Each structure stands twice: as structure tokens, then as C-alpha cells.
Amino acid sequence: MTWETLNPTRIAVAGDWHGNSFHADRAIRHAAEHGAQAVLHVGDFAYKFAPSFMAKVQRALEDTGLTLAFVGGNHDDWDRLDLLEADHGCTAILMRPNIYYLPRGYRWAWSGVSFLALGGAHSVDRPWRARGEWWARETISVGEALNASLDGHADVMITHDVPDGVRIPCIEGNPIGFPDSEIEAAQRHRELLRNVVSEIRPQHLFAGHYHCRLDAPLIGRDYRTEVHILDMDGGAMADNVMIVDLVDL
């Protein structure tokens, strides 16, 4: 069975796990206990894809009968993800049994609901990380944004970053003190993502990145998108994993 032919009616959408195998195991089992038939992950999934982490995730998925797919976050190894896409193209790419990578611009449909994957975000902590701890490909390019928009509307977008126009109280005032240049670069990325959202006009968008749980509307000229931000590993499970019935979308 492939990713496209799963056709679940209830899914779990999960926020950042950062390669935390203990939390990932608990989150997958939480999803299964609440009736999810598949897991969508919004990125910052595995960092450098350590074999121990990937094996732990695979075992949890096999134990529960679930399949998981993720978009890339800014803290996922884009060198590895780009090699996968170069070999397989823009499709759901099987990395291990029950684990798929969804490249930027990939589309699919389940139970009458259409999806668009568009992972990536800017690392505002880049000056504090060595090269090899961040990747130049972590952000969506203008070309990728244009290509993702070509086929028009999708009901749901799965992203890592959050589009401009959504107020995120936990980052207001730059409480951690990231450099202004990094904050500005992050804002430009959010504006680019907003341009894609304005073309796609999804009913729902699921994201992570900001390590908080928030639901907020994004109002455009001819659309309204309900934006759902998922919290990170280590917080409350209900804030990191959202159970979604596709009939409600």
C-alpha cells in the first residue's frame, strides 16, 4: 500500500519532534489510541535522521499499524532530503517501512480532501549554529513557491513555517534576543509563504516551528484559512498531536 492509497478518514497531525525518540514513540501511540489511521508531521522531524531514532519510529508505527509522512523543517537534514528528491522526484518518498518524506510542492488527496506539502522555515538561531547544523536549503525558494502555486486550490496545506498575517504571541518582542537580521529574514520567508497561501486558498493549514499551540484564522481578500500551529516535543501531548477527522475538513 502506498501513501496515496492509504485513504484514511481520521489522521493525526504532529508538531516538531527534533529527533526525540522517546517523545516520538509516545506521540505515535497516542495517535493510535485516539483512532488515527495515519500521521502527518509538520517538520523538524528527525534532524540528522539518526538510525536509532528512525528505528524507534519504525517500530512504533509497526506496533500500531500506522504510517507516517513528514515535510522538512528547518532543522531536518536538507542535504539528505534533496538527494532523495533527486533520485525519486516530487512524490511521497519511502525512507523506511511506514515512513515517507513529502517534498515541497507534492500534492495528494485522501477521502475527498486535497493536500499540499510545503515544508521549510528560516533558522533565526543560525548564527549560533555551526555549518552542518543548519542548511541553506531550509527555506522555500521563490521558484518552489511559484511551482507549488501552479495547480491552484488545495483544501489543506502542511507546512513548517506559519504565513504572514497570523499573530504568534509567543515570539512577539523577540524574547530570546535573536539578531535583527535573522528576524527580518524569517519575516520575509513568512511573507513568501503567505503569497502561496493566497494562491492556494486552503481551508486549513497545519504548521509547527514556533514551539507553541495556537489556532488562528488567516483572512485574505477571497478566502479564510484556519491555521493550526502545533507545539514541540516535551510539552503536553495534546498540544503536539492534533487528531483530525477528514470529514470535518
Q: How many helices (H) and strands (E) does the chain have?
A: 6, 12
Q: How confident is the model at residue 35 (pLDDT cuts 50, 70, 90)?
A: very high
CATH class name, domain 10-248: alpha beta
Name the residue among 34, 106, 103, 95 with its Cα closest to residue 68: 95
Helix or strand run (H / E) with residue 181: helix 180-200
The C-alpha atoms of residue 30 and residue 76 are separated, in whole angstroms, by: 23
Q: Is the pLDDT of residue 63 over 90?
A: yes
* Cβ–Cβ under 8 Å, residues 226 and 242: no
Quick one: cell of 188?
520575509
Q: How confident is the model at residue 6 (pLDDT cuts 50, 70, 90)?
A: very high
What's the pLDDT at 4? 86
Q: Is the pLDDT of residue 131 over 90?
A: no
What share of the chain in percent tops pLDDT 90? Answer: 95
Q: How confident is the model at residue 130 (pLDDT cuts 50, 70, 90)?
A: confident
pLDDT digits (tens, 9 = 90+) for 144-184: 999 999 999 999 999 999 999 999 999 999 999 999 999 99
The C-alpha atoms of residue 69 and residue 101 are separated, in whole angstroms, by: 6
Burial-class residue 28 by CB neighbours within 10 Å (0-12, 13-18, 19+). buried
What's the pLDDT at 142? 98
The C-alpha atoms of residue 25 and residue 39 are separated, in whole angstroms, by: 12
Domain positions in the chain:
10-248
Q: Is the pLDDT of residue 248 over 80?
A: yes
